[in-house]
Structure 1
Amino acid sequence: MSAAARPGRLVIAVDGPAASGKGTLARRLAAHYGLPYLDTGLLYRMVARAMLDAGHDIHDAVAAEQVVNSFDETAFPEERLRGREIGEAASVVAAMPAVRAGLLTRQRRFAAQPGGAVLDGRDIGTVICPEAPAKLFVTATPEVRAARRHKELIGRGEAVTLDGILADIRRRDARDSGRSDAPLKAAEDAIVLDTSALTVEEAASAAIGIVEGRRAA
């Protein structure tokens, strides 16, 4: 029996595309159940940031493999991991099999904590924690996701356009879904939660309901 499936533990896997609301919901679930939370996307952003800081070409798979096996998770303040540029760079390195393999152990170690954990990303339910008892696949239309990301970036003072963000969203969706290693997709036993027309509170309530349903089952 895997660590995720041990009795008395609760592992919640939250997957979905960029700006779907999965991070917000994962944090809400972690707070509700008193569990540690990991935004696995930040790990890929750390790899991308380390590569950019070292002057590597973000498409250099050899350099990425070296970085992923040596970077310090505590070395990057979160403000250096946010923004449009680093998000795009993270999507590039996330398509590299060596990077995904290098981060696998870190993510599974986090999920194996005694009481359980909440993890969000692109392949939590399919690869990292395939035996997690509660799996959600959070989604929304590209237009809604682009509007959310546009509002977020404008609030940070970035000069962006809604059309440009929508193009980024569609490009990242294609890259994440089309990669050969751990493509973005809903696990067969995941519950799909479309947040397009939901407020944060409505989406959080629905997510808790999904987890409670799985716990009861």
Structure 2
Amino acid sequence: MAQQDGDSDRINIAIDGPAGAGKSTVARLVAGQLGYVYIDTGAMYRAVTYSAQRLAIAANEQEQLGKLMKDIRIRLEPGESGQSVFVDDEEVTDKIRSLDVTRQVSHFAASGIVREVLGRMQRELAERKGVVMDGRDIGSHVLPNAELKIFLTASVRERASRRHRELSGVDVVPLEQLEAEIAERDRLDASREIAPLIQASDAIELDSSGMTIDEVVATIVRLSRTKLAEAK
């Protein structure tokens, strides 16, 4: 894809980290402040998981998953409260945040065919620069040439507490159970054979445990402007 005028004034920002670290919220706000495009790769994996569950396809059924990935159409659009997610023109923004999807998404994300197809989609979206992309393997695998890479993390307890607050009054789950589920998801993400969760060697680690969202966003925006100045 041909570069357009002004591309030299934009960089790609990759934000990786474990589940519940606040990547999506931070990435969306950073993109908004910089005038960049936000790409929620986690929502794309959730969309695949939701679609597979609806068709009763298990994560280990590679042939059926291959057929699903051949035909699936995922669209991300800016929404009033973040990003709206569509699968084959059906809005699934809320449906993909269910506990059933959350508990299974790491298993589907470990599939080679799923990662191959979504990774290709994600790289195409970033070709023209000026994107903020968050996920598990953006800096290490999807966008290894991103000018700024952030590894955003927080303690398991802090991430479980955040998730618990989100679920209050909706799906009441004990905090201890959420901690165990997040720790298990960390283990699955870090130990999968294909594109595991790792911190890229040139990524900047940012522990958000004792920081507000605004502080995290301000730090990344400052770093991005420094990187942009260096790239000129």
TM-score, L = length of structure 2 = 0.86
Q: Give the RMSD, CA atoms, in angstroms.
A: 1.7
Residue 215 of structure 1 deviates from its aligned partner by 2.2
Which residue among 196, 207, 211 is the counterpart of 1:183?
Answer: 196
The amino acid that maps onto 1:175 is L
Residue matched to 1:194: 207
One-letter code aligned to 1:139: T
Alignment partner, residue 50 of structure 1: 51
Residue 63 (structure 2) aligns with: 62
Give the corresponding residue for 2:113. 98
Pairing of 1:1-217 with structure 2 (within 5 A): 7-73=8-74, 74-75=86-87, 76-113=91-128, 115-155=129-169, 157-217=170-230
CA contact (8 A) 1:52 1:58 kept: no
| 8 Å CA contact retained: 2:164, 2:173 | yes
CA contact (8 A) 1:193 1:207 kept: no
Secondary structure of 2:8 counterpart:
coil
User: Which amino acid counterpart does residue 144 of structure 2 have in structure 1?
Assistant: P
Q: Deviations over 1:111-165 (max 9, x none)?
A: 113x52111001111111111101111000001000001111125x102110111
Per-residue deviation, 1:7: 3.2
**Does structure 1 conserve the Cα–Cα contact (< 8 Å) formed by 2:34 and 2:221?**
no
CA–CA distance in structure 1, aligned partners of residues 98 and 223 of structure 2: 31
Q: Which 4+ runs in 1 deviate beyond 4 A?
A: none
**Number of equivalent positions:** 212
Q: Are 1:65 and 1:102, in contact at CA under 8 Å, matched by a contact in 2?
A: no
State the 1:21 CA deviation: 1.2
* Between 8-17 and 174-183, the greater mean CA deviation after superposition: 8-17
Does structure 1 retain, via aligned residues, the 8 Å contact 2:46–2:102?
yes
1:71 Cα deviation from its structure 2 partner:
1.1
Q: Distance in 2 between matches of 1:138 and 1:85?
A: 25
**Amino acid of the structure 1 residue aligned with 2:9:** G
Q: Please report the TM-score for the alignment, with normalisation by the length of structure 1.
A: 0.92
Distance of 1:116 and 1:68 partners within structure 2:
27
Check whether the contact 2:47–2:92 (CA below 8 A) recurs between aligned residues: no
Q: Indicate the structure with greater strand content.
A: 2
Q: Which amino acid aligns with 1:190?
A: A
Give the share of equivalent positions with the same residue, in percent.
35
